[in-house]
Chain A
């Protein structure tokens, strides 16, 4: 491969430096390996910081404990948002982008220096944000930092550094793909997982540009150099804030396909169907920034209705397509192995001990059944009046970003450790249980928040009960939130322990098998790929999945229509 001369100036100095992975037979570029390790380590550091904050703020909202004073509650709430919603997830995604654009294409990292520059900017920005919020009381402005609440200029600068760093890392993803294509490292289309990551990268690009449109003016405004309209800031901020979560969505779905292939050996039922679903994200998901502006002054019904519905719920359609195609592919793969009994025999016989499988299932359930359904409902223009800024909102996004994205990323980490860190995964039993513990805790957190929010409890509030407006039953639902948080934090500690023990102890060891608990079977090898006959066999068709998605639709309809009924009972307003 090194015989091919580089055709791009930025790739000129880069040396080809590979190792061959004995398990997957893929070539691992050494620059990529180091970049993935660095980004993954920073991701886990931010997860730990955000996790400590999560525990303390949850124990404050749990009325029976009410741990922190107001100042520290709001301070750690700000930190929690920055470290979790941005830092942990984006660092992990950058690791995924470096990995996807090189290893999965058998290609080299064509711009390692640029990638390191991005990493350093992100690290400096992330640490600076933590530092400013911890030591400057005026910068306790929460993650959204709505103008005209003025934080220290360094607060905005830290956002800018992080975002510019992320943008640079995303650009290296595109460079890698173009170079790999030019150098003929892969034939034909991108693999589906890389296609999904590409969707995430494109979404990330315009998301970060919109972030710049919000935060750069805020930075100059904080220095007293310009005026900034609070309504306009909100519009641009959410052009960044909500699509940033859609980047997570696209990356998570890509990881779902990867986990499904690694643990069950799926072959996508129909590449066109799955790719079309990603394309729908690409075109429509950015409109969702309106979700945060539905009860804002100054915007018309038409603008809100078109944007909040992603034109015609077309991005929701994309998610519903993945919600079918992934479990359906899993069903076909498991039926092809002989688990054909009844509608759900395949599911009972899934590799439940395999952490990647557990993480995949928990992630899909929490994301779809709780996160997706509640998100579409509270994102409905009129229903949003019942939900705006209540705990129903964090209830929704803890199901998507924590239950969905974070659980999937955690599950994926267990494969990164042997394949990229080249360390044996330790505490395998813990790894098996971790997705279930973490997922269950997150589910309780989410349900506690949603049921509290339904009773009117607002988010980002140190103590709502003393206002006397809120029924006493919230003490119960807030306790569910608190108990769930304890369980989820226990799951988080299990994750960090497994990761740390694995990478800090034991010698460097080439991986010997892909799966962690299920022997030496390797679904990534070409020879194990399902045949056309197996895919088309009548016995193997995903009938069980069709039942599951219809059950999902019924639950969706019940929850959605119940909310219209609730809205119809409140005061008249127009």
Chain B
């Protein structure tokens, strides 16, 4: 708290040097883990993104639903796209549209964008979370590894009905 002596630039002690070295090595390890996983791991954050507008994106979603619809639940279409295809999911206050039906072990290009506010794509209980920003078509290449019914929760506050925004993905 009080002023130091005039010359405080002194060599570090042995314990300080030890800890500084160990901490630095740990920091380097933390740094290496990310590129390592980027090249070796199977779960990486998607980066593929396109500019879009709500109108353009809504048109793509409608075309997608019209092509692959197989059923309906509470007024929301259930859509079963073929493996490897482009899958379009629309976020808007307060709905995920449509319900997707996918196959386990098959890869899909999942597009997601928002019609209005920011939304959060939170797939539960798989626990994959992505940010959905209006004006951006975000493409996640996903491969479901488990079967069952999964819930998409919106986890970005999108005004007062936020907690009612619940969607579904079915994996067979």
Contact = CB atoms under 8 A, between A and B. Distances in A.
B127 A386 contact: yes
B159 A149 contact: yes
A161 to B, nearest CB: 24
A573 B118 contact: no
A193 B3 CA distance: 9
A270 B13 contact: yes
Contact of A389 (B43, B120, B159): B120
Given A186-B3, A573-B43, A385 B130 contact: yes
Contacts of A190: 3
A299 B47 contact: yes
A71 B160 contact: yes
Interface in A285-301: 293-301
Interface in A306-351: 309, 312-314, 316-317, 320-321, 324-325, 328
Interface in B38-87: 38, 41-47, 49
Max chain A CB contacts within 10 Å: which of B13, B155, B157?
Answer: B157
Contacts of A568: 41-43
A467 interface: yes
B129 A461 contact: no
A166 interface: no
Contacts of A316: 27, 30
B92 interface: no
B41 A382 contact: yes
Interface in B88-121: 107, 116-118, 120
Contact of A324 (B9, B19, B128): B19
Max chain B CB contacts within 10 Å: which of A193, A324, A455?
Answer: A324
A573 B10 contact: no
A67 interface: no
Contacts of A192: 1, 4
Contacts of B46: 573-574
Interface residues of A, number: 101
A320 B42 contact: no
Contacts of B125: 455-456, 469-471
Interface string B1-37: 1111110111011011011101110111011011101
Max chain A CB contacts within 10 Å: which of B13, B133, B142, B151?
Answer: B133
A296 B131 contact: yes
A530 interface: no
A195 to B, nearest CB: 9
A37 interface: no
A365 interface: no
Max chain B CB contacts within 10 Å: which of A190, A258, A295, A568?
Answer: A295
Interface string A429-463: 00000000000000000000000000110111111
Contacts of B23: 317, 320-321, 324, 553
Contacts of A459: 155
Interface stretch (A27-35, A228-236, A495-503): A228-236
A563 to B, nearest CB: 10
Contacts of B6: 187-188
B43 A461 contact: no
Contact of A464 (B41, B118, B153): B153
B131 A295 contact: yes
Contacts of B20: 273, 321
Contacts of A328: 15-16
A142 interface: yes
A70 B158 CA distance: 12
Given A320-B23, A571-B43, A305 B35 contact: yes
B141 A469 contact: no
Given A305-B38, A317-B27, A389-B156, 18 more contacts: A70-B163, A146-B117, A270-B10, A273-B20, A295-B131, A297-B133, A313-B28, A376-B30, A381-B38, A389-B131, A467-B166, A469-B150, A469-B151, A524-B2, A557-B26, A567-B41, A571-B145, A573-B128
20 contacts: A74-B159, A146-B118, A187-B6, A188-B3, A261-B1, A271-B4, A272-B8, A313-B27, A316-B30, A317-B27, A324-B16, A386-B128, A390-B127, A456-B125, A462-B163, A541-B13, A557-B26, A571-B126, A571-B142, A573-B140
